[in-house]
């Protein structure tokens, strides 16, 4: 238990804290939260709770800011943060490219006709079916992640009669200062080819030897929710070093360098995110300088922001169901969602804040634990949240910064239906992902009274079948 829990009475923040809330979020005079010109209480009445409310104007503005900051680079929105058909369409309309990491994400892109050339396909264990789907759609770039995959992809591309553009994913040996579950630049992890161990250079040689593969560049992603540029700088330095070595060994200058995603956002007022324009300036300067020193032509840079684009655009609206006070110990405020719509608190010990969204409440707050409705005592939405003393059942609570890795990591634990995503803009709301129903949950189950139901899903082609 935290020392502050329920012991200190605090003032409820009067205003919405900068950086945490979507750009169009406002507090009405009657204390009601408004996003995209719409009142939280009216949104809850129309669409129910819990619900993800996504500020479309903010999403588009963030895409535009990244595009402007990285003007001569390729910006790939990382769909894993949150993807649905409408968002794929917005990304396309805003002129960004799209990073997909599964056949499912690719299917979303495909379903809206996302230009194949502007897709990049990631994954440390892409299936044969996924690789075939990517080749079939003509995905612009595939990032190869293992020796087995190089062999597999080379065979599949040859079979399809295409020469597939690829990047080699390198682990540059950089420790990002973030939770170890989301740190991916260090040697000891499952992604990519080690730089220090020589695997990266060997992977490059194998790709170059495969006539059906066309090596266009290198890729590195050091982790996620990062607040300083030192790690990116070090990764850039090492990647340019590898480019120079490849030039010396193979006489070729690779034209592309993808430095991945990972820029952090503010979840509480203690977080100080970097400005995208500053990051762009620093990264391009570092790469430019390193290339000048190495005598290399500056490669075209690519970046893959996910969280930094969608994270702050979305607020989760919950309804309070119970308030349990344990005098001198803690107050639990239970809402109608939980770890099925926000796994980040229990998985990464992530910090969040929350505020009453349907009325002002008393000016003083108890620091409470905001919990969900699941059968786990670790089902916490947010620790140490100052909610008004008079918080009660029926109140709406809003959790900001819940656009990235919330809906995309949502589950049906306890057979809870996953919340909808409601896009709001200029006073209009649109359901872009509908709420699941109990019928949705039952749809996949076989009927126990009917032995012929279901026929069973079609099996994918096994990897062994291709490489043998
Ligand atoms: C390869 C790759 N690119 C991009 C991203 C997006 O990261 P973020 O949402 O932190 O920007 C990730 C996730 O960490 C990733 O693994
Ligand atoms: N899911 C993680 C980020 C991982 C990104 C994927 N490589 C998070 O919520 O912070």
| Residue 463 confidence (pLDDT) | 58
Q: Among 219, 218, 227, 315, which Cα is nearest to 266's?
A: 227
Ligand nearest the Cα atom of residue 305: 1
* Averaged pLDDT, 241-260: 96
CA–CA distance, 408 with 340 (Å, rounded to integer): 11
Ligand 2 pocket test, candidate residues 179, 222, 307, most atoms within 8 A of CB: 307
Minimal-distance CA residue to ligand 2 atom 8: 405
Pocket of ligand 1 (CB under 6 A): 78, 80-81, 99, 122, 184, 221, 224, 260-263, 304-308, 404
Q: Distance, CA 189 to ligand 2 centroid (Å)?
A: 15
Write the pLDDT tens digit of every residue in 202-248. 999 999 999 999 999 999 999 999 998 889 999 999 999 999 999 99
* Averaged pLDDT, 331-340: 98
Write the pLDDT tens digit of every residue in 74-124. 999 999 999 999 999 999 999 999 999 999 999 999 999 999 999 999 999
Render the burial of 227-236: b for 16+ CB within 10 Å, e for the rest. Answer: bebebbbbbb
Minimal-distance CA residue to ligand 1 atom 12: 261
Minimal-distance CA residue to ligand 2 atom 7: 182
Q: In this model, does residue 395 exceed pLDDT 60?
A: yes
Q: Distance, CA 263 to ligand 1 centroid (Å)?
A: 9
**Cα 330 to Cα 179, 342, 395, distances in angstroms:** 27, 22, 19
| Residue 1 confidence (pLDDT) | 42
> Percentages helix, strand, coil for the chain, rounded to the nearest 5?
30, 25, 45
Q: In this model, does residue 266 exceed pLDDT 80?
A: yes
Minimal-distance CA residue to ligand 2 atom 9: 405
ipTM of this complex > 0.90?
A: yes
Q: In this model, does residue 3 exceed pLDDT 50?
A: no
Q: In this model, does residue 355 exceed pLDDT 90?
A: yes
Q: Establish whether the linkage from the previous residue to 53 is cis, with ω within 30° of 0.
A: no
Q: Give the chain's mean pLDDT.
A: 93
* Averaged pLDDT, 182-200: 84
Q: Distance, CA 223 to ligand 1 centroid (Å)?
A: 7
Q: Which CATH fold topology does 57-311 show?
A: TIM Barrel (3.20.20)
| Ligand 2 near 182 CB (within 6 A) | yes
User: Are the beta carbons of 379 and 339 closer than 8 angstroms?
Assistant: yes
| Ligand 2 near 402 CB (within 6 A) | no
Q: In this model, does residue 2 exceed pLDDT 50?
A: no
Write the pLDDT tens digit of every residue in 54-65. 999 999 999 999
* Averaged pLDDT, 345-364: 94
Sheet holding 33-35, edge to edge: 26-27, 33-35, 38-39
Ligand 1 pocket test, candidate residues 174, 178, 261, most atoms within 8 A of CB: 261
Q: Which CATH fold topology does 9-54+312-442 show?
A: Lyase, Ornithine Decarboxylase; Chain A, domain 1 (2.40.37)
Write the pLDDT tens digit of every residue in 152-189. 999 999 999 999 999 999 999 887 766 666 666 677 77
| Token code pair at residue 183 | 């740190």
Ligand 1 atom at minimum distance from 225 CA: 10
Ligand nearest the Cα atom of residue 97: 1
| Residue 305 confidence (pLDDT) | 98
| Ligand 2 near 406 CB (within 6 A) | no
Q: Distance, CA 79 to ligand 1 centroid (Å)?
A: 9
Q: In this model, does residue 468 exceed pLDDT 90?
A: no
Phi, psi dihedral angles at 141 (to 5 degrees): -140, 140
Ligand 1 atom at minimum distance from 404 CA: 9
Q: Distance, CA 225 to ligand 2 centroid (Å)?
A: 8
Ligand 1 atom at minimum distance from 305 CA: 11
The share of the chain scoring above pLDDT 70, in percent, equals 93
| Token code pair at residue 310 | 């969608």
Q: Distance, CA 73 to ligand 1 centroid (Å)?
A: 17
| Ligand 2 near 27 CB (within 6 A) | no
| Residue 464 confidence (pLDDT) | 59
Ligand 1 atom at minimum distance from 264 CA: 10
Minimal-distance CA residue to ligand 1 atom 5: 261
Ligand 2 atom at minimum distance from 225 CA: 10
| Token code pair at residue 214 | 């066309």
pLDDT category at 137 given cuts 50, 70, 90 is very high
CA–CA distance, 171 with 324 (Å, rounded to integer): 47
Q: Among 321, 315, 224, 212, which Cα is nearest to 264's?
A: 224
Domain residue limits, the chain: 9-54+312-442, 57-311
Q: Among 43, 92, 23, 81, which Cα is nearest to 422's?
A: 43
Annotated binding residues, written as ranges, equal: 262, 304-307, 344, 348, 376, 405
Ligand nearest the Cα atom of residue 82: 1
pLDDT category at 438 given cuts 50, 70, 90 is very high
Is 291 marked active-site? no
Q: Distance, CA 127 to ligand 2 centroid (Å)?
A: 21
| Residue 459 confidence (pLDDT) | 46
Supply the angle between the helices 199-208 and 230-250 in degrees, to the nearest 10: 50
């Amino acid at each position: 238990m935290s020392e502050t829990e329920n012991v200190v009475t605090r003032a409820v923040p009067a205003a919405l804290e900068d950086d945490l809330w979507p750009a169009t979020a406002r507090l009405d005079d009657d204390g009601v939260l408004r996003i995209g010109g719409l009142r939280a209480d009216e949104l809850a009445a129309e669409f129910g709770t819990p619900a993800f409310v996504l500020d479309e104007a903010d999403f588009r503005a963030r895409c535009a800011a990244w595009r402007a900051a990285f003007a001569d680079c390729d910006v790939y929105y990382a769909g894993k943060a949150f993807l649905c058909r409408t968002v794929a369409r917005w990304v396309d309309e805003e002129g960004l490219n799209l990073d997909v990491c599964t056949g499912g994400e690719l299917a979303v892109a495909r379903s809206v006709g996302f230009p194949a050339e502007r897709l990049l396909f990631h994954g440390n264990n892409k299936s044969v079916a996924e690789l075939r789907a990517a080749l079939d759609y003509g995905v612009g770039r595939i990032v190869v992640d293992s020796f087995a995959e190089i062999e597999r992809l080379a065979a599949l591309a040859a079979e399809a009669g295409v020469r597939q553009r690829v990047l080699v994913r390198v682990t540059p040996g950089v420790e990002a200062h973030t939770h170890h579950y989301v740190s991916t630049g260090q040697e000891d992890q499952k992604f990519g080819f080690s730089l220090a161990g020589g695997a990266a250079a060997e992977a490059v040689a194998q790709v170059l030897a495969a006539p059906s593969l066309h090596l266009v560049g290198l890729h590195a992603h050091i982790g996620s929710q990062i607040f300083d540029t030192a790690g990116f700088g070090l990764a850039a330095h090492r990647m340019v070093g590898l480019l120079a070595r490849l030039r010396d060994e193979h006489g070729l200058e690779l034209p592309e360098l993808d430095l991945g995603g990972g820029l952090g956002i503010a979840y509480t007022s203690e977080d100080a995110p970097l400005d995208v324009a500053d990051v762009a300036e620093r990264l391009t300067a570092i790469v430019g300088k390193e290339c000048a020193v190495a005598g290399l032509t500056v490669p075209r840079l690519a970046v893959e922001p996910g969280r930094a684009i969608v994270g702050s655009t979305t607020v989760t609206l919950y309804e309070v169901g119970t308030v349990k006070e344990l005098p001198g110990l803690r107050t639990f405020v239970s809402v109608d969602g939980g770890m099925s719509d926000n796994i980040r608190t229990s998985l990464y010990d992530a910090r969040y804040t929350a505020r009453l969204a349907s009325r002002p409440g008393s000016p003083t707050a108890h620091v409470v634990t905001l919990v969900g409705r699941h059968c786990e005592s670790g089902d916490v939405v947010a620790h140490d949240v100052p909610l008004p003393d008079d918080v009660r059942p029926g109140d709406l609570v809003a959790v900001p910064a819940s656009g990235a890795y919330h809906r995309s990591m949502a589950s049906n634990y306890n057979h809870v239906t996953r919340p909808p995503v409601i896009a709001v803009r200029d006073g209009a709301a649109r359901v872009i992902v509908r709420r699941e129903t109990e019928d949705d949950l039952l749809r996949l189950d076989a009927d126990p009274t009917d032995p012929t139901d279901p026929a069973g899903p079609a099996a994918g082609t096994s990897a062994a079948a291709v490489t043998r």
